[in-house]
Amino acid sequence: MLGRLPGTPRCRRLIEWNKACSPLRRHGGPDEKKDPSTARQQPTPPTDQLCQDRLLCQNRLLCQNRLLFPDRLLFPDRLLRPKPPPLPETLSEHSPPMKQLPTRRPTEPIRAVVRGSAPPQTARAIPAVRRPRKHRAILFVLSGPQQGAVFPLARCASIGRGDGVDVGLVDESISRGHARITRDDDTIFIEDLGSRNGTFIAEERISGLHRITDGEHIRFGHSTIVKFAMVDELEERALLSLYESTLRDPLTRLFNRRYFDDRLFSEYSYSHRHSSSLAVLMVDIDHFKRINDMHGHQAGDVVLKMVAATIQRVMRPEDVVARYGGEEFVVIARNTSLRNAQILSERIRHRIEQLELAWSDRPLRVTASVGVAAFGEAGVFESADALVAAADEALYEAKHLGRNRVCFRAGRDGKLSVPVPMTTVELGPPSNRRTA
């Protein structure tokens, strides 16, 4: 191996020193007597500089001959730690053998050390995250009037557009009792209940029990397509929260305009098909811009929240209350005649008038005007949009007559009425009305 060393001065000095310090020369030849008095004087050993030269030659030798890891390099600053002991001044046959240079352990990998760099970090074991069990079944609406809706499924869930179903789908092509999903341990079945327009999986109409798997698409009727999925509890809560955020107003937590439009269409179709009554109420806060200008938008937000909560407390669970836009609210009252809609509107107006908000050490009071339109015995409207337009006209008339009052419109070619008086039987003792 020494013959392959580069012909540099340092390497030549190293070769001479290796010859001088070889075991045969240090301890004498085979014919020499091992007498200290006759021992040959050895040359002066190299200093620390020569020791460092030897390390450099070893590094070059390892890299040139490709003995160990040709893509890495042993640097002398790593091998010199700890620093080897100083060599004795003279070597004799009684001198102890030289200690070998510190070498790495066989199992220790060779790493390059760059001056000024941080020491290599040891990899820490990352604890394994247990994957939760997906044991909750849901239906996610992909297309149809309720696109984006999420319906959790019980062990036995009925599907349709009727009143007593577990999953209510708003679609005219879906039967009242359209299908049923049952679960037996980890096996889920769907059954068509004799619907008119059928239940389809992979564009094939099913009849009787049919097994469904995770991720399968199911079509009910003509346009509603849902996805069946198995999720864990965390995923179910996240999907329900995301769906709620698309339907609710972030400030008042009432339904938004999108939900109102979809629900109004379904309610109007139901009333028209069953010849039942339907009422729409438009509620507007009087002089709301003046509240924002005088007290600030924060006070306006508090007023909106209080009015929304007041209307919500008056309504029935099956009624729909939504924020129509700005300071306007809208109510859908199912199976409500014109007379009952007038009573409900006056009750809402009276409750809002009784509100009192302490803002900047002085009370803040608000009033509201209400417009009512009813579909049913009192008259009919051509469409759901016509019903809303009639309620909006009635609201405009209430504003024109002085605000803080109720006006209504009934059916086709109906006339705007005079303000409805508040009766003591329905609403208790009358309050002092103020015209804002």
Q: Which residues are catalytic?
A: 327
Residue 131 token pair: 């994957």
Are residues 405 and 348 in contact, defined by beta-carbon separation less than 8 angstroms? Answer: no
Half-sphere exposure at residue 266, Cβ-oriented, CA atoms within 13 angstroms: 20
Are residues 341 and 374 in contact, defined by beta-carbon separation less than 8 angstroms? Answer: yes
User: What is the Rg, in whole angstroms, of the alpha carbon atoms belonging to the chain?
Assistant: 45
Q: Other C-beta atoms within 10 Å of 366: how many?
A: 21
Residue 341 token pair: 């809609």
**Burial track 81-90 (b if 16+ CB lie within 10 A, e otherwise):** eeeeeebeee
CA distances from residue 107 to 104, 123, 252, 365, 375 in whole angstroms, order as listed: 8, 17, 68, 83, 88
Residue 222 token pair: 């003509």
Which strand (E) or helix (H) includes residue 156?
strand 156-160
* Residue whose token pair is 């028209």: 272
Strands 368-375, 406-410: pairing is parallel
**Which residues, listed in sequence order, are joined to residue 368 by a DSSP beta bridge?**
285
Are residues 75 and 59 in contact, defined by beta-carbon separation less than 8 angstroms? Answer: yes
Q: Other C-beta atoms within 10 Å of 178: how many?
A: 27
CA distances from residue 378 to 92, 339, 345, 413 in whole angstroms, order as listed: 128, 10, 17, 11
Q: Which residues contact 102 (CB under 8 A, 6 or more apart)?
A: 79, 82, 84
Are residues 113 and 77 in contact, defined by beta-carbon separation less than 8 angstroms? Answer: yes
- The closest of 343, 348, 366, 342 to 311, measured between CA atoms, is 348
**Which residues, listed in sequence order, are joined to residue 243 by a DSSP beta bridge?**
none
